[in-house]
Chains A and B, each alone.
Chain A
Amino acid sequence: MRRLPPVAITAMVFVVGFALCTVQFPNFASTRVAANLLTDNAFLGIVAAGMTFVIISGGIDLSVGSVIGFTTVFVALAIERLGLPPLVAFAAILLLCAAFGAAMGAVIHVFDMPPFIVTLAGMFLARGASFLMSTESTPISAPLYSTVSDFAVRPPGGGRLTAIALIMLAVVAAGAVLLHFTRFGANVYALGGSRTTTALMGIPVGSMTVRIYMLSSVLAGLAGIVFSFYTAAGYSLSAVGVELDSIAAVVIGGTLLTGGQGSVVGTLLGVLIQGLIQTYINFDGTLSSWWTKIVTGILLFAFIALQQAMLGIARRAGPRKAGVHKS
């Protein structure tokens, strides 16, 4: 009598949603729509994968949206103003992001500060820094950018699986392996269960915290690079509020906001559900795109209520499985 895991519910919501859209718009079920769904949400999928680790470990990272914005501006200026080769610019920004994440993780651990506050500070810092560099949108015209945007795997049916969609899928796959099949992943869950207990069990909690926020910031940087491919520009106001979208995706994906449970694949589904709503609105043509936010909000409520209910049930049933002694 096993209960349905939350991620199965998310998958069902996605499938039902997709089916409903198909009923209303017969040409919805095509590889084109599916591929666009992945491309349009590639950057969100990447940050949300990182956010999944942070939330499972019992933390939160509010800085990711600003880090994406910062990254796009940094990359655009490095390539266009300084004339750096794009790959060098990418390496530089990823290192910078790693240092930024590590610093946030270290502050959280060493000063025992709430992640909410520390990453909120990080959010203002990164956004402020990107305004300092440039306040206007800088188009990027490096040849690499057009090569990448021309590249696509073409499944039958007119879809274009773009490079950035592939990067996102690769990140999600790697994230899932890291989370479920490595010691690092087990430690992430452990931290979300209880920090003190994890420390007493001999896990280096400090270095884990540093590495988790580092991972989140690096993935935010990667998402920023992907975002710059997507828009072919760097703009300090890009990706405002993305931290909240990605938190929503993580929660809709079945990860407990209090930590200790969740999955990267669920998060991908959470991202795709948000994308699905947006696509529906585009197909409809008359609805305001703010409906995405409203429906996402309703879904969030529903999922959090569901999790609370399931936790409540689990608590009522209690840890009542006695061990079986066979003597």
Chain B
Amino acid sequence: MNAISDPGPALLEVRGLSKSFGTLRALQEVDFTLRAGEIHALLGENGAGKSTLIKAVTGVFPRDAGIVRLGGVEVAPRSAKAAVDAGIATVYQEVNLLLNLSVAQNLYLGRQPTRFGLVREAEMRRCAAALLAEFDLHIDVAEPLGNYSVAVQHITAIARAVDQSAQVLILDEPTASLDRHEVEILFAVMRKLAQRGIGVIFVTHFLDQVYEICDRITVLRNGRLIGERTTAELPRIELIRMMLGRELAETTSERTAAHARQVGEICARFEDYGKAGYVAPFNLALRRGEVVGLAGLLGSGRTETARLVFGAERADSGSATVDGKPVRLQSPRDAVAHGFGYCPEERKTEGIIADLTVRENIVLALQAKRGLAKPLSRSEQEGIAMRFIGLLDIRPPEPERPIGLLSGGNQQKVLLARWLATAPRLLVLDEPTRGIDVGAHAEIIRLIRDLCDDGLALLVISSELDEIVTYSDRVVVLRDRAHVDELEGDAIDISNILAAIAVAGSAGAEAGQP
């Protein structure tokens, strides 16, 4: 198309690919070209069809029409295995790993080194350790994968695919649960592969990452191809317009006047609250109408703090009070009884119940809170579901669709709706905008502000500092599983947060500068 950078030979060509789910036309005659040695971003809103395109190309879904050529030869893999055999390795959005198997087995399942039909366990572990070392990950590969954090699991999935990628590597939102350092390592590996002539397809909602690493961008909208550009010639505003089909209503990276609002009295207070070996004791007071951001690196104790506050983990020191009365938070049930809500980070694995409909998923927590004796009527449920579908722009707007059939980003919106529907007094959101597209991102931030105006107290964890800066009234900075600093008012800006994270030669220094 544009001869700014040398367009290498076409490696993977998709022509006229269509795919429908019943009446829903998820892909309509999409063309896509990946060249050897390039990193190619596949972008679009939640539900645009990115994951569907990947699955149709790799044979997970049969395609209705269209052809795929790999190195000039037509291929039609009929399963993920056939795609791998053809040279296309993929990390799907719903990370495909087995938590009950060891890390090493996950890396080599189906291709373990064997002798006389027996798996060479020691050899396999050695290779596994060496493979993960490339990602700067040094763990015991004989342990079950489920014993490790989501980030480690994600890296394992990526390492497996990288190791298998003969010609094409496809990564569907691989960076959603990685921290900055891990993302840098991943990018280094991707660049190395590209240099070797492998084509990399990279799906993400982080536009910064797109501009950092991608050579070329293809944008989908509503299942149609909108265009293909080189990154260098596509300004960000233009890219967003291509993705949304409209201008982004409001720039979200500014602190706005919303912060002038009145902050109410304290609704929950934690004193010397902590758990040995988990999070050092901390003091935290949450006021009505206030957003408190928790900032820090992955593993700094953000999620751990949230789990303590929500009673998912029992504190062994300190005390908690709600509305001035001392309470004991022994379990999430206690927390819910006191009007707390918690939208966890691992929504994909912990939150959604794939066979239930969107409506059922939304009313789940509300129903649990009311108790079985007071069932919500069908029409009440529908009303609630429709309200949040509208509020969060969940697409397609069909309350009776099983949630498992929604795109990844839309599933996350449903989970957010589940907790919002309980009208909690204190809501903990762990990475609320992960995997959510730029348009919906702005919506969610607006929603967070509105909620606070209604008197809700919010505790928000986010790795995106500009996002935290935008909506927080106070920011607690964590490092090495301890609360190290608290910023308020005008002191809240990115450089102050980074400074607090990186203070005085500690391990936190790897945060790097933006």
> Using a CB–CB distance below 8 Å, which chain A residues touch chain B?
177, 181-183, 186-187, 189-190, 192-194, 196-204, 260-261, 314, 316, 318-327
Contact = CB atoms under 8 A, between A and B. Distances in A.
Given A181-B118, A190-B109, A193-B98, A200 B92 contact: yes
12 contacts: A181-B119, A186-B101, A190-B98, A190-B101, A199-B80, A260-B98, A314-B146, A318-B313, A322-B148, A323-B152, A325-B182, A326-B136
Interface string B171-209: 000000000011000000000000000000000000000
B112 A183 contact: yes
B136 to A, nearest CB: 6
A193 B98 CA distance: 6
Nearest to B346: A319
Given A183-B112, A200-B92, A326-B138, A319 B100 contact: no
Contacts of A204: 79, 81
A204 B182 CA distance: 32
B2 to A, nearest CB: 35
A174 to B, nearest CB: 12
Interface size class, chain B? 35 or more
B510 interface: yes
A69 to B, nearest CB: 34
Nearest to B82: A202
Contacts of A177: 118
A260 B145 CA distance: 13
A2 to B, nearest CB: 10
A52 to B, nearest CB: 15
Interface in B238-259: none
A74 to B, nearest CB: 31
Contact of B110 (A201, A314, A321): A201
Nearest to A314: B146
A321 B148 contact: yes
B117 interface: yes
A319 B307 CA distance: 13
Contacts of A203: 81, 109-110
Contact of A181 (B98, B121, B151, B510): B121
A321 B147 contact: yes
A296 to B, nearest CB: 27
B112 A319 contact: no
A325 B137 contact: yes
Interface in B383-406: none
A327 B181 contact: yes
Contacts of B510: 325, 327
Given A201-B80, A202-B80, A323-B148, A182 B119 contact: yes
B152 A322 contact: yes
Contacts of B312: 316, 318
Contact of B100 (A187, A189, A323, A325): A189
A83 to B, nearest CB: 39
A249 to B, nearest CB: 21
B96 A197 contact: yes
Given A200-B60, A326-B136, A327-B510, 18 more contacts: A182-B114, A183-B119, A192-B100, A193-B100, A200-B80, A201-B96, A202-B84, A319-B99, A321-B139, A321-B149, A322-B151, A322-B152, A323-B137, A324-B137, A324-B138, A325-B136, A325-B137, A325-B138
A58 to B, nearest CB: 10
B117 A182 contact: yes
B299 A322 contact: yes
Given A201-B80, A204-B81, A319-B147, A186 B105 contact: yes
**Which 10 A-B pairs have CB atoms at the shortest separation, nearest pair first?**
A193-B98, A202-B81, A200-B96, A260-B100, A322-B299, A323-B152, A193-B100, A197-B96, A181-B118, A322-B149
Given A182-B119, A187-B110, A327-B510, A198 B98 contact: yes
A154 to B, nearest CB: 33
B155 interface: yes
A319 B81 contact: no
A312 to B, nearest CB: 11
Contacts of A323: 137-139, 148-149, 151-152, 155
Contacts of B299: 322
Which of B96, B151, B307 has the largest number of chain A CB atoms within 10 A?
A: B96
A133 B85 CA distance: 48
Nearest to B331: A316
A100 B146 CA distance: 36
A269 to B, nearest CB: 21
Contacts of B117: 182
Contacts of A327: 136, 181, 510
A314 B428 CA distance: 23
Nearest to A190: B98
A53 to B, nearest CB: 15
Contacts of A202: 79-81, 83-85, 110
